[in-house]
Amino acid sequence: MKRRLPSVDPILAFAFGALILLGCVMVFSSSSILASNHFNDPYVYIKRHMFFLTASFFLLYVSSRINPDLWRKSWFALYGATLAALAVTLLAGKTVGGAKRWLYLGPLGFQFSELAKLVAVVALARYFDRYHSRLADWRWAVAWPLILLSCLVLPIVLQPDFGNPVVIILISLIMMLVADVPYRHLAVYPLVAVPSLALLILSSSYRMKRVLGFFSLWGGADRIGVAQDGTTYQISQALLALGSGGFWGKGLGDSQLKLHYLPQPHTDFIFPVIGEELGFLGGVLIVGLFAVIATRGVRTALYTERLFERYLALGFTFMLIFQAAIHMAVTTALAPTKGITLPFISYGGSSLLVSCWMAGILLRLSRLKK
């Protein structure tokens, strides 16, 4: 008789399910008017969202049943396939909003920079698991991991995409700390990462405007002189929405922000819509659910005995948490404006698929007991 797998962490599963359900509600609420005006059908975006959600649930279920050894053994195939897909995207991808990030197969498009985040965690988990005994040498501790990451990050930067590389870099630093890379070697990391990020900002006029616009919100537009050119328009509208929601919110469906004040309220700025419609309590609910994922994800990592599984659990946990934190920081003027989705909630098939893939692996790891 085949032995049954232990049950998954029910609290972690509840947090994922609650965020996904809330995402369905908020995608429809934030996109219905936009869809009506553009397609004469208020259900266009929610129907697409439900299509990808069906595929995402299937991926979540399958990945929650697969032995983690599969990811350890197939990491190089995943890494190579993702690099190839990113290269093909640069050559033959569809340009949307000035960025070539989408690769289409018929009517379906996929953003492989989202998949690169998952692959980066798997590759680093395998690397630090295999070479853990060599991390006293800076070449094995920092140089090779940076090369491994640079191959993924560079084609994403060339699309151009700035948000996903930042998330990957932050998570890689966390994984280095968890892998007990000596602090003296970690000093090399910011010496490479910080100038690289600064160069990316300085080399792009629109990124510079966004950074200056961010500081103008706190330092006064008269000192910086960029608020009047529209660079702070989105975040100003987001703050107005969050403030007008009050404690209880205006009510589901009653957001004013989604009435064409922001171009994509169902994706990069969905958190202010939640704050306006569901109020402070809605925002606290979102933060609380991600806090549950953070605590249960770390607990899952501590309950695993093998290094690869521990790194995998921590990497995926912090990947989801950091992306959510950056989304909320951007939409509350705590970070410069950058388009990045809120995991499980924002509209976007690629983000939803990859987030559910990570969730499935985390649930599978939560089955492991000491």
Give the pLDDT confidence of 316-351 residue by residue, as tens digits: 999 999 999 999 998 888 877 777 899 999 998 899
Predicted pLDDT of residue 96: 74
DSSP β-bridge partners for residue 103:
110
82 and 155 belong to one structural domain:
yes
Annotate 214-266 with DSSP letters as a single string: HHHHHH-HHHH--GGGTTTHHHHHHHHHHHHHTTT-S-TT--STTTTTSS-TT
Tokens of 125: 């988990």
Q: In terms of residue numbers, what domain contains 298?
A: 18-65+226-370
107 and 179 belong to one structural domain:
yes
Over residues 117-122, mean pLDDT: 96
Mean residue pLDDT across the chain: 86
Distance (Å, whole) CA 334 – CA 291: 19
Distance (Å, whole) CA 260 – CA 344: 23
Give the pLDDT confidence of 160-173 residue by residue, as tens digits: 888 888 889 889 98
Distance (Å, whole) CA 102 – CA 232: 27
In a domain, 88, yes or no: yes
In a domain, 113, yes or no: yes
* Chain centroid, CA 107 distance in Å: 24
Predicted pLDDT of residue 194: 76
Confidence of residue 263 (pLDDT cuts 50, 70, 90): low
Tokens of 206: 């629109």
Asked if pLDDT for residue 226 goes beyond 60, the answer is: no
In a domain, 220, yes or no: no
Over residues 284-306, mean pLDDT: 94
Number of residues that this document lists for the chain: 370
Confidence of residue 228 (pLDDT cuts 50, 70, 90): very low
Query: Residues 351, 37, 264, 287: is their CA dihedral positive or negative?
Result: negative
Asked if pLDDT for residue 141 goes beyond 60, the answer is: yes
Predicted pLDDT of residue 229: 47
Give the pLDDT confidence of 108-118 residue by residue, as tens digits: 788 899 999 99
Asked if pLDDT for residue 221 goes beyond 50, the answer is: no
Asked if pLDDT for residue 123 goes beyond 90, the answer is: yes
Q: Where among 169, 203, 237 does a domain terminate? A: 203
- pTM value? 0.91
In a domain, 3, yes or no: no
Over residues 32-43, mean pLDDT: 87
